[in-house]
């Protein structure tokens, strides 16, 4: 059977064709060639001996490099980008025996691939280049020889970040540095890309110090802003080569929607299609047709699951193929990854499931088919993954299998948008103050910063340097240079990654299984979690957060785990507000705290148990947008749906999810780069509020861009809900796959009402609505953080003083109420602690601290509530409260007094008794406050006089 027939069989198969939403046939393309003149004889001989003809884009790159231009080449996977820059670099190496070059790759695997290519060129061209990799895996005994002799060094940003301060050991290399190659440069986006941009500028500064001004060569996937990216990464101007002239076979790109003919209803929720099972079925189909297939998944866990299922099922169907299936992901040992890569090239493996770890240009040969299980978050990633399939003259297949989320379903229903959409901009934010400070300290450690260098190399004003001097992070010496005054290396304290530099080792019986960073531990390897590695399941027995170890034991289980988290946000600084008609979108600096408080054991989609977690919250500062929804909307919704609970909260939550789901349509980001929070009441805004924030320390510019396009985002979100056929909400409209609250509460109709209400606030007078931007610079003091720090230090008295100050200004500050309750509980004041707990929960039912305290404190049955209608009722309630106070039940007594004082706030004896309760609870400022209120009304009352004696 011919390759073409095998590839075409899938789209015509009766089992699958009903779910195909669209087929885009990308036609085959012939190569076009170009000759480069005046090449070195050894290069000419090499090209001739290998029967190589340079594609036009390779020749254009070669000529630009020879002309001394900085070049960025952006052509698809397997188009020969590497040869395009390796040959001119080798020509320079032949003609200048001292010349050196630095190759920077985002992953070690890419460095190893390129090393073998360069070693081959060195041998074929008969020159001494001594190419070597220099990274964390390089043996210590080899490093000195590499520094002193190698002319081409291959490394990654992480290693470069740590060794720049040792530049004196590399003086020979830096003096002769002619080229800096940054391969897979599209990978440098977001926080990681911004870090690398500062790192490259530090590298440039050191090269200039040794008298070299290297030429930059960047290689990238196709993207919308290649010249901007190159400039932001290096600070240099570039020539762009983007016309792919390599040959390619015909490719069918299929949009496959398991939910195409499925309408979600409450009664058939359990019968919803499973994307993972559908992925496995198609994966199995390809292998049974002898189509070598790479299956990309959106998570490490899914990669392992699909490989595990496929091996098990293939054993039953065609046993000899089971051993030709493998999983590949980050976290595996280097030798294991190399074996799988070689197995793909040799054909040993017929099917491999993987994360985006194989999206980069690691040499695994060209395959017949690619399955992309779930939109990977960006168009760049989608096309990089699809590009893994396709031999030069053979037909290939790419299948994108849609999840039931907002973005995937939007693409399934709008294929023209998918295939016509230009590739995204790679976002690099060089204004992040945390990154600026960190890299200035690193630069000063490497070489004293002269006045003006911060602006010259990093485009950072002298004010930032002056601030670092003020904080004693930098010292100005007598020559006016700025030096790092300490013995440590600041690079060791600053991670290039977006979340954490902490590395956790996952250990099984003393053997290293894999490594991961803190946030992954919280999500995937918390105590009790089921961790899947190479198809085997492991139970996490313990986590040592202090020393960075996760201990697991191998165990076969028939369930998996899902963690839940609670997010808390405080506004640190208001930066701007943008008005679209009567709709105001705020933007500013936020503090986000993520509390991973419990996890579920799941059998498929059914929960079989819920268990608490005790993990310290993940806390970070970022930037985000927020907007408020007035109480009148809440009142209207409750009138519209009188018999339904949490309608308003469900509408806010649904609006948050739906907006975030379509962020990537307008802000060119991965949906997992952003987070959100919706709440009926927020202390900082005093209203119902929806927050959407960049999910990284310091922010990466996503939400700032979203403010500019908010009207378009709102309109497309309303359109999404209008076109979703479900009855009460589903993953295609308002559910979120990463919701820490288990997608509760959600209310589809309330969501639509809130979004439409917002739309009506926007002026429709003009076809194009322009936002009026008002710049703000308002610091929001956070006294709660101060109170919490005092509490953690055990200074309960000072903490309560700060909390009393917060509650005097805002009696509904749920976090302050909950912390006060926690302190009182630890001081064995259980009754009054319960009263504060209940008040905290009445303000914010989701407050985690208060929820935990409620479980610990609530043991008594609720009393029947009394309706107040007369003075006799007041007297009766007061006597009951007084009796309970004497019996020591301060919590119930205070509850009765609150009800009484709501009806009659001039009752001096009740005010004084409340003061006595506060006094007994150690809350003396509140006791004095109630004494003052009571004494103004009747200073001679019996309880008032008794309280006076205490507070005096």
Do 841 and 850 contact (CB within 8 A), yes or no? Answer: yes
pLDDT attached to residue 76? 82
**Burial class of 768 by CB neighbour count within 10 A (0 to 12, 13 to 18, 19+):** exposed
The helices-and-strands tally (H runs, E runs) of the chain is 37, 28
**Rounded CA separation 772/294 (Å):** 49
| CA–CA distances in Å: residue 229 to residues 53, 184, 196, 342, 666 | 30, 12, 12, 33, 19
Do 54 and 33 contact (CB within 8 A), yes or no? Answer: yes
Do 296 and 358 contact (CB within 8 A), yes or no? Answer: yes
Do 509 and 278 contact (CB within 8 A), yes or no? Answer: no
**Rounded CA separation 425/58 (Å):** 24
pLDDT attached to residue 871? 58
Residues in CB range of 936: below 8 A, 6 or more apart: none
Residues in CB range of 727: below 8 A, 6 or more apart: 264, 265, 266, 748
Q: How does DSSP assign 167-211, residue by residue?
A: GGGGHHHHHTEEEEEETTGGG--HHHHHHHHHHHHHHHHHHHHTT
pLDDT attached to residue 832? 85
**What are the mean pLDDT values of the chain's consecutive 10-residue runs (952 residues total)?**
75 92 92 92 91 93 96 88 94 96 86 88 93 91 94 95 95 97 88 91 97 96 85 95 90 94 64 88 94 90 90 90 88 80 89 84 78 88 87 86 88 84 70 87 96 94 93 92 93 71 82 83 91 84 91 90 89 92 94 90 81 88 94 95 93 96 80 87 91 85 87 90 86 84 91 96 66 78 82 85 82 86 86 86 77 74 49 75 79 83 86 86 78 88 85 72
**Rounded CA separation 464/473 (Å):** 11
pLDDT attached to residue 71? 97
- Which ranges of 709-747 would DSSP assign to H, the alpha helix? 710-723
pLDDT attached to residue 811? 78
For residues 818-856, b (16+ Cβ closer than 10 Å) or e, as one string? bbbbbbbbeeebbbbbbbbbbbbbebbebbbbbbbbbee
| Phi and psi at residue 173, to the nearest 5° | -65, -45
pLDDT attached to residue 861? 42
Q: Which helix (H) or strand (E) holds 914?
A: helix 908-920
**Rounded CA separation 628/649 (Å):** 13
Residue 526: closest CA among 539, 535, 510, 511:
539
Residues in CB range of 947: below 8 A, 6 or more apart: 912, 915, 916, 919, 927, 930, 931, 934
| CA–CA distances in Å: residue 601 to residues 22, 201, 279, 527, 825 | 37, 48, 23, 12, 31
**Rounded CA separation 933/944 (Å):** 10
| CA–CA distances in Å: residue 743 to residues 264, 725, 731, 851 | 16, 19, 10, 18
Do 831 and 916 contact (CB within 8 A), yes or no? Answer: no
DSSP-derived letter for residue 889 is: -
Per DSSP, what are the bridge partners of residue 553? 539
Kindly report the pTM of this predicted structure. Answer: 0.69
Do 538 and 512 contact (CB within 8 A), yes or no? Answer: no
Strands of 376-456, DSSP E: 396-401
- Which ranges of 289-333 would DSSP assign to H, the alpha helix? 300-317
Do 199 and 496 contact (CB within 8 A), yes or no? Answer: yes
- The CB density around residue 516, as the number of other CB atoms within 10 Å, is 22
């Amino acid at each position: 059977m011919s390759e073409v027939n095998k590839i075409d069989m899938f789209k015509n198969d009766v089992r699958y064709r009903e779910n195909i939403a669209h087929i885009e046939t990308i036609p085959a393309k012939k190569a076009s060639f170009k000759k480069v003149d005046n090449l070195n004889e050894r290069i000419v001989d090499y090209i001739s001996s290998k029967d190589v003809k340079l594609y036009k884009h390779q020749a254009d790159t070669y000529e630009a490099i020879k002309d001394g231009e900085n070049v960025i080449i952006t052509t698809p996977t397997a188009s020969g980008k590497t040869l395009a820059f390796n040959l001119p670099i080798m020509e320079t190496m032949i003609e200048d025996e001292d010349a050196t070059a630095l190759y920077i790759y985002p992953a070690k695997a890419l460095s190893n691939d390129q090393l073998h290519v360069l070693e081959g060129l060195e041998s074929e061209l008969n020159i001494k280049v001594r190419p070597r990799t220099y990274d964390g895996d390089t043996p210590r005994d080899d490093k000195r020889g590499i520094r002193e002799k190698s002319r081409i060094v291959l490394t990654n940003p992480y290693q470069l970040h740590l060794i720049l301060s040792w530049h004196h050991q590399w003086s020979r290399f830096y003096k002769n540095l002619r080229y800096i190659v940054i391969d897979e440069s599209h990978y440098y986006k977001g926080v990681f890309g911004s870090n690398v941009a500062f790192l490259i500028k530090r590298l440039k500064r050191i090269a200039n110090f040794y008298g070299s001004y290297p030429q930059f060569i960047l290689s990238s996937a196709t993207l919308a802003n290649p010249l901007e990216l190159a400039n932001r990464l290096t600070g240099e101007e570039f020539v762009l080569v983007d016309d792919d002239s390599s040959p390619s076979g015909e490719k069918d790109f299929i949009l496959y929607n398991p939910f195409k003919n499925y309408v979600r209803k409450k009664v058939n929720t359990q019968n919803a299609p499973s994307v993972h099972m559908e992925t496995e079925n198609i994966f199995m189909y390809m292998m049974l047709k002898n189509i070598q297939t790479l299956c990309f998944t959106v998570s490490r866990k899914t990669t392992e699951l699909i490989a595990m299922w496929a091996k098990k099922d293939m054993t039953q169907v065609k046993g000899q193929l089971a051993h030709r299936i493998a999983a590949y992901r980050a976290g595996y040992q280097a030798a294991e990854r190399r074996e799988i890569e070689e197995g793909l090239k040799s054909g040993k493996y017929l099917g491999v499931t993987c994360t985006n770890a194989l999206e980069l240009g690691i040499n695994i040969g060209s395959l017949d088919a690619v399955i992309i299980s779930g939109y990977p978050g960006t168009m760049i990633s989608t096309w990089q993954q699809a590009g893994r399939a396709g031999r030069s003259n053979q037909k290939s297949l790419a299948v994108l299998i849609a999840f039931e989320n907002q973005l995937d379903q939007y693409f399934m229903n709008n294929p023209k948008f998918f295939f016509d959409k230009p590739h995204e901009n790679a976002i690099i934010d060089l204004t992040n103050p945390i990154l600026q400070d960190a890299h200035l300290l690193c630069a000063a450690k490497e070489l004293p910063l002269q006045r003006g260098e911060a602006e010259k190399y990093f485009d950072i004003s002298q004010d930032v340097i002056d601030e670092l001097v003020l904080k004693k992070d930098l010292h100005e010496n007598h020559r006016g240079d700025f030096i790092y005054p300490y013995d440590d290396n600041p690079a060791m304290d600053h991670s290039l990654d977006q979340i954490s530099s902490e590395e956790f080792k996952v250990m099984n019986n003393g053997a290293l299984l894999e490594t991961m960073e803190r946030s992954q531990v919280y999500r995937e390897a918390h105590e009790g979690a089921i961790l899947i590695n190479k198809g085997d399941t492991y139970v996490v027995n313990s986590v040592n957060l202090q020393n960075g170890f996760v201990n697991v034991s191998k165990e076969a289980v028939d369930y998996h785990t899902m963690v839940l988290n609670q997010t808390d946000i405080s506004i640190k600084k208001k930066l701007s507000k943008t008005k679209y008609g009567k709709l105001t979108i705020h933007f500013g600096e936020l503090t986000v705290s993520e509390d991973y408080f419990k996890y579920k054991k799941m059998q498929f989609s059914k929960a079989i148990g819920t268990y608490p977690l005790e993990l310290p919250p993940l806390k970070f500062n970022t930037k985000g947008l927020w907007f408020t929804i007035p109480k009148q909307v809440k009142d209207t919704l409750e009138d519209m749906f009188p018999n339904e609970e949490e309608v308003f909260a469900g509408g806010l939550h649904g609006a948050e999810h739906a907006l975030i789901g379509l962020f990537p349509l307008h802000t060119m980001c991965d949906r997992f780069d952003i987070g959100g929070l919706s709440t009926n009441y927020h202390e900082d805004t005093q209203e119902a509020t929806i927050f959407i924030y960049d999910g990284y320390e310091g922010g990466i510019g996503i939400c700032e861009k979203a403010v500019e396009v908010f009207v378009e985002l709102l309109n497309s979100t309303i359109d999404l809900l209008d076109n979703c056929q479900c009855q009460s909400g589903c993953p295609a409209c308002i559910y979120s796959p990463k919701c820490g609250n288990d997608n509760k509460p959600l209310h589809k109709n309330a969501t639509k009402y809130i979004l439409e209400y917002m739309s009506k606030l926007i002026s429709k007078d003009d076809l194009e609505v322009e936002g009026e931007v008002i710049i703000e610079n308002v610091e929001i003091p956070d006294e709660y953080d101060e109170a919490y720090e005092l509490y953690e230090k055990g200074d309960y008295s000072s903490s309560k003083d700060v909390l009393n100050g917060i509650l005097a200004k805002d009696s509904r500050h749920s976090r302050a109420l909950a912390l006060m309750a926690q302190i009182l509980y630890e001081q064995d004041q259980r009754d009054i602690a319960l009263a504060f707990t209940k008040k905290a929960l009445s303000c914010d039912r989701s407050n985690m601290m208060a929820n935990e305290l409620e479980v610990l404190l609530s043991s008594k049955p609720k009393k029947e509530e009394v309706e107040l209608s007369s003075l006799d009722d007041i007297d009766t309630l007061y006597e009951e409260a007084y009796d309970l106070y004497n019996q020591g039940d301060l919590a119930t007594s205070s509850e009765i007094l609150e009800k009484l004082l709501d009806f009659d706030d001039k009752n001096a004896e009740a005010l004084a008794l409340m003061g006595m309760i506060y006094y007994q609870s150690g809350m003396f400022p509140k006791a004095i406050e109630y004494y003052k209120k009571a004494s103004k009304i009747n200073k001679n009352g019996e309880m008032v006089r008794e309280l006076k004696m205490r507070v005096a």
